[in-house]
Structure 1
Amino acid sequence: MAVDKQALRILEQSNAFTGRHIGPDQAQQQAMLSELKLNSLSDLIEQTVPKAIRSLATSGESPLAIAPGKTEVQALKYLRSLADQNKVNKSYIGMGYYNTHIPNVILRNVLENPGWYTAYTPYQPEISQGRLESLLNFQQMVMDLTGMEVANASLLDEATAAAEAMALCYRSSRSKNPVFFVADDVHPQTIDVIKTRAEHMGIQVAVGNPNTDLEKHDIFGVQLQYPGTYGQITDVASIVAKAKEQKAMVSVATDLMALMLLKSPGELGADIALGSSQRFGVPMGFGGPHAAFFAASEKLKRSLPGRIIGVSIDRRGNPAYRMAMQTREQHIRREKATSNICTAQALLANISAFYAVYHGPEGLKTIAERIHRLTTILHKGLTTLGVQCNNSYFDTLTLKVGSQQEAIYNRALEAGCNLRRIGFDQLGISIDETTTAEDITQLLNIILGQGQDLDIQTIDNQITLFEGKSEGKSGLKDEHRRTDPVLTHPTFNRYHSETDMLRYLKRLENKDYSLTHGMIPLGSCTMKLNATAEMIPVSWPEFANIHPFAPRDQVKGYTTMINELETALATITGYDKISMQPNSGAQGEYAGLLAIRNYQEANGQAHRNICLIPSSAHGTNPASAAMVGMKVVVVDCDENGNVDVEDLKTKAEQHSDNLSCLMVTYPSTHGVYEEEIRTICDIVHQHGGQVYMDGANMNALVGIAKPGKFGSDVSHLNLHKTFAIPHGGGGPGMGPIGVRSHLAPYLPNHCVSPIAGDNEGMGAVSAAPFGSASILPISYLYIVMLGQQGLQKSSEVAILNANYMAEKLAAHYDVLYRGRNNKVAHECIIDIRPIKEACGVTEEDIAKRLMDYGFHAPTMSFPVAGTLMIEPTESESKDEIDRFVSAMIAIRKEVRKVQEGQWPTEDNPLCNAPHTMADLVDSDWSHPYSREEAVFPLKGSMNGKYWPTANRIDNVYGDRNFICSCPSIENYQEKD
């Protein structure tokens, strides 16, 4: 039978992913184009994007040399073939990464649930109470286990958390000495990241044995590992005492599971405790994402990096959660920021917190005791037959095996086990909650050789752990054992059945607004569809259960996928080389600036330290510049929101000898394509500088223009924005960087698992060589399924949706900035300042009132105070955009009532928003508007009404009454 190629083509198109990803269908697109008096998307791009940067216009080439899009079935089938090339060995490598059992109730209802993973950062706390409660649980868990008085809501990974600890010690220590001492049993990847961070901070890093070498250095801080990377239990208390003699601070990297049995760092006198919560139910994922934790003493609470969840009250006086001390957010503090961290690992922190809630203190202690007992059995079996290993341990043994190292290591590989090579004559073995008695038998046979006739039960019977004195019978001395109770709060003691846990998870989920409810129109944040097909492989064992330092021949599928993703991103951006290591946008900024600094130093231009940054830039830009030792010089913007080219020329000339780089966002943070971007780049290059182009707005460029071709030297790419990785309620993210060829030798490398290339000798910026590798399949599938045409179409429709929305809103609000032909890019800014001046209604009032209409607010007061920045993305249909526009028009009518005196300025639906079910049944309703106007402001809004669970939250009260731990149960009781 002859194959009908035309029929096959039509069939493939009918299954195409592009039509599923892009919200408006062809008819809706045409209707929106008609509103804009345009005939086609091509006309829109021609009128909107400067001709000088468009890919087709500059070189005549096809915009993207990427294969046509695959169907979901085809793409998943191909990725499955790559996954099958990975070999999932039993991992005993340790080094902060462990096999773990994620409870199925958490796997299905959190990790794989769009109600949890598509939510945004809780900037609007009234519609984020569920994840805020869970993050508060995370903080409480960390404070309990570390013995510290304050904890944040997570950081990116353990190594970068240690670098943040070094910076915190540097700022806060009473010692003004220049040396940060790092114990030589700190995980090597952590030492690598610390050294990278210290290089441009004027800090000297000394690595050595703190018991013998500490007095040899004039120090301001110390970093310890507890237990150490080789398994030994560090004598933290004695080292703290030595450090205090030099007025130095002590940071302790630790393990939450070990702390179920070990005395806490706080009890031992540490100032800071940090680590990874990965082994609390989060898969290793070839490196991430995992939630780092960071805790400190009370005196450091206002200096902690990252976000802290706090307790406040709402308008009714009920307890409510919010992000505390938000003035530390980096878009406010800019180059004076203490860190460039502006995100967290919220989704992973929530999973770890739920793991602790589900198991409870007794369950966690049982897991920890079992891990330690199996380690002790292994230790007893080995030492009985003459193998030397450390006698102090929780879960890790380092074996002195001499010339047998290679033979034992290879026997383990043949048996499907990965051990850790240490030097030339030692092996490391780390036990975890997935290890069984059979595994211990297998390990003994691997190490000692078959036929030793060791009986596990006999060894076990010789050990009397946890019964009276255990001296000499366990790896934990009695003085190291924890005696204080932990996780005593009721939340950790009431949800141990799956029924109770399921309902608790659902109750929290129902309190939050996510993409499952409606559009999240946040400017700069690109809250597009996170397709189910993209998310499915995250849970595949071949991606989820692999150690980041597994032998490279076991990760051929991972390597192929990462290489193909790097090639695609290079093609899309026009850069020559991509580094996948940075695991957030801020880390990408830092890595990009680091490449510039190292390139200039290598070329005898270390004196170049001036970074030009437009006044409109995201606050992480100046914060990142400060982290690499640059001085920030602000460049003005003109009245249209563009970089003031004349001011740029003046300042580039003024600082020509010392100009390092320009940081610029394109399209601009003001939501327009600047016509002079090529000129801007040329000016900086003429004065010997480099151009760093922030990739936050890449969603308006893919398939249309390539930063690497129109003047930029380096960009970071927010995979959690443009390339569809979900925001997870405040993380995870990925921020790989693209560079031109001259910067490629200065991309990050990794001391434990070196990355192939010509960047040998470069330090790491993240704990794992490929950052949060397990979420890379999301972006990979996004590109593979959209293909060349779909990627370009996505950008075009994103621009169409934004311009359509701007046009519809312009009759009611002032659109602050427009570009050529009166067009915006993929987002627009509406100005609320004239409204506030006229009647006192603020941008916050409008943001909160939108919740009553069933929407998440746009980005508030960024990049211009008193404005709202709106980005619909390409995934929202015309119907949803029209629904949002209708809400904004209705709100404008409400504003007019306030302006005209129909509603008083101090009592109206806007200043009282959002409204809750409590308002609906309020017996003392005295407002000048009806309950119906409060909670059902639009006709038809009763259907599928989203209810905020808190009234307007009092930020001032929360800052004045700082609480970052779980409230007592009495606080939850209903008030009379």
Structure 2
Amino acid sequence: MAFKLTDYEAYDFANRRHIGPTPKEMADMLKVIGFKTLDELIDATVPPAIRQKEPLDWGDALTERDALYHMREVAGQNKVLTSLIGQGYYGTTTPAPILRNILENPAWYTAYTPYQPEISQGRLEALLNFQTMVSDLTGMDIANASLLDEATAAAEAMAMAKRAGKSKSNASAFFVDQNCHPQTIEVIRTRAAPLGVDVTVADPAELEPGAYFGAIFQYPGTYGHVRDFSAEIAALHEHKGLAIVAADILSLALLKSPGEMGADIAIGSTQRFGVPMGYGGPHAAYMATTDKLKRAMPGRIIGVSIDDRGNKAYRLALQTREQHIRREKANSNVCTAQALLAVMASMYGVYHGPDGIKAIAQSVHRKAARLAIGLEEAGFSVEPEVFFDTITVEVGPLQETVMQAAVQQGINLRRVGTTKVGISLDEQTRSETLEAVWAAFGISRKDIRPEVPPYRLPDAMLRESAYMTHPIFHKNRAEAEMTRYMRRLADRDLALDRAMIPLGSCTMKLNATVEMIPVTWPEFANLHPFVPEDQALGYKYMIDDLSDKLCQITGYDAISMQPNSGAQGEYAGLLTIRNYHASKGQGHRNICLIPTSAHGTNPATAQMVGYKVVPVKSDDDGNIDVADFRAKAEKHSKDLAGCMITYPSTHGVFEETVQEVCQITHDHGGQVYIDGANMNAMVGVSRPGDIGGDVSHLNLHKTFCIPHGGGGPGMGPIGVKSHLTDYLPGHPELNQAIGPVSAAPYGSPSILPVSWAYVLLMGGAGLTQATKVAILNANYIAARLKDAYPILYTSSSGRIAHECILDTRPLSEQGNITVDDVAKRLIDSGFHAPTMSWPVAGTLMVEPTESEPKDELDRFCDAMLSIRAEAQAVIDGKIDADNNPLKNAPHTVRDLVGDWDRPYTREQACFPPGALGVDKYWSPVNRVDNVYGDRNLVCTCPPMSDYEDEA
């Protein structure tokens, strides 16, 4: 039969690259569910009242080639100069092996948060290295596995000091060193206001220790000053106040550590450890503290435990998903960290080792000293006398002349006040850079290195204590060895490049290579966040265009890109509502209605903005109990600030009463926050701004393809209706009145090319099709598994949205087979478990996403059905109740080759249905003992003898 042009199906990104099932596979899946067409399924699933009226349309979808061409043109509008602005952001060199094998490697960037430790041992070890490195450099007892950025880490530290401090007389006053970075000061102020904390910004010499529950000091200061805060810290301690030091991590290779000053908490950024500036992010912040405060520390902590065989194994310790347990009493709402960037920073430490880190720090300082000498000899006044990498130069009325002359030399300097110029050097600074800076000051001078290197560090503060002494920071010197180390760690993990990760509410979908490519382009990667606007026109174009498309997708009128995680988006959304009420003279409104089924970050976030959480019941079908919602809205009408709801619901259903709930809230003067975690079921089908939402955050690291990176980066921009636009987060660098929630004006903009590429490649029709296929895939899994596992919640039409809850509680009741047993047995089949025990204890919430092809869905279903059969055998007494494949899972190579005394075969143990033969994934450890890990808390690298014993 002759080929006709009309027979050709367009080979575009949406129908051949991003969406998993083929049209024929979709037809077969629809038969299993009981529908003839995909549109029939959608009509039966999504309530007609909330369907959007107009299709998404911003022109034809681009091919991969055309998208990259277009993005390259836009990137070219950015001007990449050498930025010596400092202020917490510095040029850095990402070692090529780390660039290729971590940042650009899907084995690392497609991994999920390590809630299943057995299949996360590689990234857990890398993050443990991070904690060890930070603890050593800061001189503190324990560090977490990263926070979002330095400014929010400072705000978290303030809240931690308030929570953990013993002082009663000064519980509402906090001192901030005026030498902190400006964006840090403003984020602290933003966070302090709802908590009723009075912030004083002043010179540390003016500190009255008894007047504050805590204080934060910048080390070195934003203008370069290096001073010892030991006396101030001791005075705070006399009055039971807590001291925080915001420390530049590279400077700590040469300077006395915060721990040696007596600090209670140290925070900072690890950006300059190999992570590009990226116009502001993402970068991993750190927090370290004393042993006595470890349980008050927010964020994730990696701990060392043992597995069932007694071998060393890593896990998340203490506060794993604490928001879901403690809710509004949680330490913070931090959910996403910056795991991928923390891994990069830790590998930078492994790559260079302590000697290399010290050499880099010495080189930076010596260049700064030579620069200062050249300026001083030319007659300029340079301060401070002692510094690490930053100096401030008095230029009087010549400020603008010097700034512009520097730009002509290809250099960005920092404007300080109206008469000074700030200069911060970094590891990329070359002799030519110094000469260009001198030229901007009108100095013709060559950089000649003297035989005796100059230094301007205070002798009394030179570091004498050792750091990074663990062998892990000394053994990987040869690139071959380093590359193999990173490969070994990656091989221990199960990421999206190996198998489907069907996590409900987490949307682990394709992170396409073509979307990732622009992230490391110099035009996106190497911009300082505070460069002049005309140097970032490409970023402006991309952000504006992506914002316009997100507004069309959501039905909102404006977007703020500042929140750099989903939890930050929640916080920014509620803060916007709080600002709005205050502007109307209704600042007393402080009641927030939140369904009991909501994400745990919701009540934690409400508490952070000073709201009182009033829980709302769910009805028997898992929906919001409208009668209870109405009664509580009426009861708190005068003080109702708003409600936080998730749509589709956390139970995976399009609730038909959502518009009624929104209207009730509005009738009582409240605002509606719709959590965007489940937006993957709505794009192109329904818009939160049309159904009653006033504000929503969007998880770009879920719905819009930014990869999870093992627990971050994330992006949580918020969309708002027009009446809230004036109350969105602002930023001091943009001269905006409203305070910021993140350090950089646009959060983590260097990962925005991923989402922008996604919407360009898919087009409106492709995005809509993706939503429909996500719903199809979820309903297909539910149809295949419903006879083996009850589907906990469905709509009135018997359908689910993009995820379903499988009830495994009957297995526990009848055969003592727990949800953990099911999850660990899935590892033997080569799968990451679905979301466990949330939102309902003892269940599994499954979300397959549109990216998964039918073969992978069937492999997962086959594995789940096999597990159900094994559980039934236990229930029927055919398999030992305590010694069976479920209780002993996951099975390792050691199990396979060791002595075998189990009442089932090795093949049944290690190659159950769903497991691949040649490409079988092997868990590196047996089931991890969580209780042992918390009772024997170790959060730094264990001695090398442990590794040698295992080897």
Alignment of 1:915-954 (within 5 A): 915-923=891-899, 925-938=900-913, 941-954=916-929
Tell me by how many angstroms 1:11 deviates: 7.7
Deviation per CA, 1:558-587: give whole Å up to 9, x if none: 000000000000000000110000000000
Does 2:253 match 1:264?
no
Alignment of 1:44-123 (within 5 A): 44-56=41-53, 62-123=54-115
Letter in structure 2 aligned against 1:144: D
Instruction: Please point out which of 172, 184, 192 is paired with 2:186.
Output: 192
Partner in structure 1 of residue 203 of structure 2: 209
Deviation per CA, 1:33-73: give whole Å up to 9, x if none: 111221211111110001110013xxxxx221322211111
Q: In 1, are the aligned partners of 2:55 and 2:765 still within 8 Å (CA)?
A: no
Tell me by how many angstroms 1:10 deviates: 8.5
> The residue matched to 1:126 in structure 2 has which SS?
helix
Instruction: Please point out which of 500, 523, 527 is paired with 1:546.
Output: 527
Q: In 2, are the aligned partners of 1:185 and 1:230 still within 8 Å (CA)?
A: yes
The separation in 1 between residues aligned to 2:915 and 2:666, in whole angstroms, is 57
Partner in structure 2 of residue 661 of structure 1: 642
> The residue matched to 2:437 in structure 1 has which SS?
helix
State the superposition RMSD in angstroms: 1.4
Q: In 2, are the aligned partners of 1:582 and 1:770 still within 8 Å (CA)?
A: yes
The separation in 1 between residues aligned to 2:898 and 2:652, in whole angstroms, is 43
The separation in 1 between residues aligned to 2:118 and 2:329, in whole angstroms, is 30
Tell me by how many angstroms 1:707 deviates: 0.5
Partner in structure 1 of residue 771 of structure 2: 795
Alignment of 1:238-637 (within 5 A): 238-326=231-319, 329-389=322-382, 390-447=384-441, 449-451=442-444, 454-457=445-448, 460-461=449-450, 464-465=452-453, 474-637=455-618
Does 2:147 match 1:155?
yes
Partner in structure 2 of residue 641 of structure 1: 622
Q: In 1, are the aligned partners of 2:210 and 2:239 still within 8 Å (CA)?
A: no
Partner in structure 1 of residue 21 of structure 2: 24
> The residue matched to 1:745 in structure 2 has which SS?
helix
Deviation per CA, 1:633-664: give whole Å up to 9, x if none: 00000111100011111111111111111100
> The residue matched to 2:179 in structure 1 has which SS?
coil
Deviates more, 1:893-902 or 1:580-589: 893-902
Does 2:739 match 1:763?
yes
Tell me by how many angstroms 1:970 deviates: 1.2
Q: In 2, are the aligned partners of 1:583 and 1:771 still within 8 Å (CA)?
A: yes
The separation in 2 between residues aligned to 1:16 and 1:136, in whole angstroms, is 38
Q: In 2, are the aligned partners of 1:392 and 1:476 still within 8 Å (CA)?
A: yes
Ranges in structure 2 where 5+ consecutive residues have no aligned partner: none
Letter in structure 2 aligned against 1:509: A
The separation in 2 between residues aligned to 1:274 and 1:765, in whole angstroms, is 17
Partner in structure 1 of residue 733 of structure 2: 752
Letter in structure 1 aligned against 2:363: R
Residue 804 to residue 407, structure 1, CA distance change in 2 (3 Å): same
How many residue pairs are counted as aligned between the two chains?
A: 945
Tell me by how many angstroms 1:236 deviates: 1.4
Deviates more, 1:931-940 or 1:911-920: 931-940
Instruction: Please point out which of 920, 932, 940 is paired with 1:957.
Output: 932
Does 2:208 match 1:219?
no
Letter in structure 2 aligned against 1:190: T
Q: In 2, are the aligned partners of 1:135 and 1:309 still within 8 Å (CA)?
A: yes
Does 2:821 match 1:845?
yes
Tell me by how many angstroms 1:396 deviates: 0.3
Partner in structure 2 of residue 14 of structure 1: 11
Alignment of 1:892-911 (within 5 A): 892-911=868-887
The separation in 2 between residues aligned to 1:55 and 1:15, in whole angstroms, is 25
Q: In 2, are the aligned partners of 1:914 and 1:951 still within 8 Å (CA)?
A: yes
The separation in 2 between residues aligned to 1:606 and 1:973, in whole angstroms, is 61
Partner in structure 2 of residue 469 of structure 1: none
> The residue matched to 2:511 in structure 1 has which SS?
coil
> The residue matched to 2:258 in structure 1 has which SS?
coil
Tell me by how many angstroms 1:937 deviates: 1.5
The separation in 2 between residues aligned to 1:109 and 1:975, in whole angstroms, is 25
The separation in 2 between residues aligned to 1:555 and 1:848, in whole angstroms, is 48
Tell me by how many angstroms 1:939 deviates: 7.7
Tell me by how many angstroms 1:234 deviates: 2.4
> The residue matched to 1:578 in structure 2 has which SS?
strand
Tell me by how many angstroms 1:485 deviates: 1.2
The separation in 1 between residues aligned to 2:132 and 2:507, in whole angstroms, is 32
> The residue matched to 2:313 in structure 1 has which SS?
strand
Q: TM-score under structure 2 normalisation?
A: 0.98
Letter in structure 2 aligned against 1:935: C
The separation in 2 between residues aligned to 1:359 and 1:241, in whole angstroms, is 35
Ranges in structure 1 where 5+ consecutive residues have no aligned partner: 1-5, 57-61, 466-472, 755-759
Partner in structure 2 of residue 41 of structure 1: 38
Deviates more, 1:815-824 or 1:12-21: 12-21
> The residue matched to 2:10 in structure 1 has which SS?
helix
Letter in structure 2 aligned against 1:856: H
Partner in structure 2 of residue 470 of structure 1: none
Instruction: Please point out which of 128, 132, 138 is paired with 2:124.
Output: 132
Tell me by how many angstroms 1:455 deviates: 3.9
> The residue matched to 2:246 in structure 1 has which SS?
strand
Letter in structure 2 aligned against 1:783: V
The separation in 2 between residues aligned to 1:409 and 1:12, in whole angstroms, is 56
The separation in 1 between residues aligned to 2:478 and 2:532, in whole angstroms, is 39
Q: In 1, are the aligned partners of 2:662 and 2:692 still within 8 Å (CA)?
A: yes
Alignment of 1:756-905 (within 5 A): 760-905=736-881
The separation in 1 between residues aligned to 2:30 and 2:873, in whole angstroms, is 33
Q: TM-score under structure 1 normalisation?
A: 0.96
> The residue matched to 1:565 in structure 2 has which SS?
helix
Q: In 1, are the aligned partners of 2:860 and 2:914 still within 8 Å (CA)?
A: no
Does 2:693 match 1:688?
no
Q: In 1, are the aligned partners of 2:828 and 2:915 still within 8 Å (CA)?
A: no
The separation in 2 between residues aligned to 1:878 and 1:497, in whole angstroms, is 44
Deviation per CA, 1:161-187: give whole Å up to 9, x if none: 000000001011122312110010000
Tell me by how many angstroms 1:974 deviates: 3.2
Q: In 2, are the aligned partners of 1:226 and 1:254 still within 8 Å (CA)?
A: yes
Does 2:175 match 1:181?
yes
The separation in 2 between residues aligned to 1:427 and 1:303, in whole angstroms, is 40
The separation in 1 between residues aligned to 2:130 and 2:895, in whole angstroms, is 31
> The residue matched to 2:665 in structure 1 has which SS?
helix
Deviates more, 1:63-72 or 1:161-170: 63-72
Does 2:654 match 1:673?
yes
Q: In 2, are the aligned partners of 1:48 and 1:820 still within 8 Å (CA)?
A: no
Q: In 1, are the aligned partners of 2:594 and 2:602 still within 8 Å (CA)?
A: yes
Q: In 2, are the aligned partners of 1:17 and 1:786 still within 8 Å (CA)?
A: yes
The separation in 2 between residues aligned to 1:817 and 1:939, in whole angstroms, is 26
Letter in structure 1 aligned against 2:262: G
The separation in 1 between residues aligned to 2:705 and 2:254, in whole angstroms, is 41
> The residue matched to 2:208 in structure 1 has which SS?
helix
Residue 939 to residue 551, structure 1, CA distance change in 2 (3 Å): closer
Identity %: 57
> The residue matched to 1:163 in structure 2 has which SS?
helix
Tell me by how many angstroms 1:929 deviates: 1.2
Q: In 1, are the aligned partners of 2:829 and 2:914 still within 8 Å (CA)?
A: no
